[in-house]
Amino acid sequence: SILILLLLPTCNVENDRRNHIETLEFQKETWYTDALDYWSNKPATINGVLGGYGKVDKIDTEGSRLFISEYIYGKKGARNRKLTLPRITEEYACDCGAGIGRVTKNFLSRLFKKVDLVEYTPKFIERAEKEFLKKEKEEGKIGEFICKGLQEFIPEERKYDLIWCQWVIGHLKDDDLIEFFKRCKIGLKPNGLIGVKENVCVFGYQFDETDSSVTRSDEIFKDIFQKSGLKLIKEATQHGMPKQLYEVKMYALECADDLDQEELMPNE
């Protein structure tokens, strides 16, 4: 009984805190422009886009590759026995919150034939196009460089096998994030997937005024996925990150039912 008495007030306080952030912080008129101002003042380098943690690049991109590869190549067991068939093709991916193209260069372009980049900060996307991804662009592995915030981005219908969102959706308000995911569903090919890789906190929201972002709990993410009409089919923790950082989780998401994409199929 003592444990219950201690826990109940904590839950009420957390609910109040969550409501406070949703009604006050997310209503700031400068929410998105503050984020743009913050990143516009950061160097267009790997260390800059990773907030000074450039050393995690290799382990991060390798973790992402291992997480998603089973959906491209299938999953194999003992004696190379095939356990699952490939789900998506290697044709086209979209890198949301692409920065200077770090994730595209070291992860997505190594698995997919072509990648589009979506990035809100002009100097980052310019660096990606003119320098960082120059080789990949010349090889025809890059599609479009799209300078736009995810709150405004509308994917082309049925274009992508994978839409990958990493360390970026913390800049979206809850309502805008749900609408973004709904638009992404329309941008997926049949059987296409949305990948999310983000920091997660233990509970509720952790708001950061310095870059106008919020870290959400695993519980809140899953609630948002459900409200967006997405079904979680795989999740994993990224290991090897610095201990002072929030836990980093990866989620693979599909449309919650076939109706979403069946409606896009052309009439026979």
Does the annotation list 120 as a binding residue? yes
Query: Any known ligand binding at 63?
Result: no
What φ, ψ does residue 195 adopt, rounded to 5°?
-110, 135
To the question of whether residue 85 is assigned a binding role by annotation, the answer is no
Q: Which two tokens stand for residue 146?
A: 């799209």
150 is in an annotated binding site: yes
In whole angstroms, give the CA distance from residue 18 to residue 21: 5
182 secondary structure, DSSP code: H
183 belongs to an annotated ligand binding site: no
User: Is position 119 annotated in a ligand binding site?
Assistant: yes
Return the structure tokens found at 1.
């009984």
User: Is 206 part of any known ligand binding site?
Assistant: no
102 belongs to an annotated ligand binding site: yes
**3-state SS, one letter per residue, for the chain:** CHHHHHHHHHHHHHHHHHHHHHHCHHHCCCHHHHHHHHHHCCCCCHHHHCCCCHHHHHHHHHHHHHHHHHHHHCEECHHHCEEECCCCCCCEEEEECCCCCHHHHHHHHHHCCEEEEEECCHHHHHHHHHHHCHHHHHCCCEEEEEECCCCCCCCCCCCEEEEEEECCHHHCCHHHHHHHHHHHHHHEEEEEEEEEEEEEECCCEEEECCCCEEEEEHHHHHHHHHHCCEEEEEEEECCCCCCCCCEEEEEEEEECCCHHHHCCCCCC
Torsion (CA) 197, 190, 188, 239 in degrees, nearest 10: 10
For the annotated binding site for S-adenosyl-L-methionine, the residues are 97, 102, 119-121, 150-151, 166
For the annotated binding site, the residues are 97, 102, 119-121, 150-151, 166
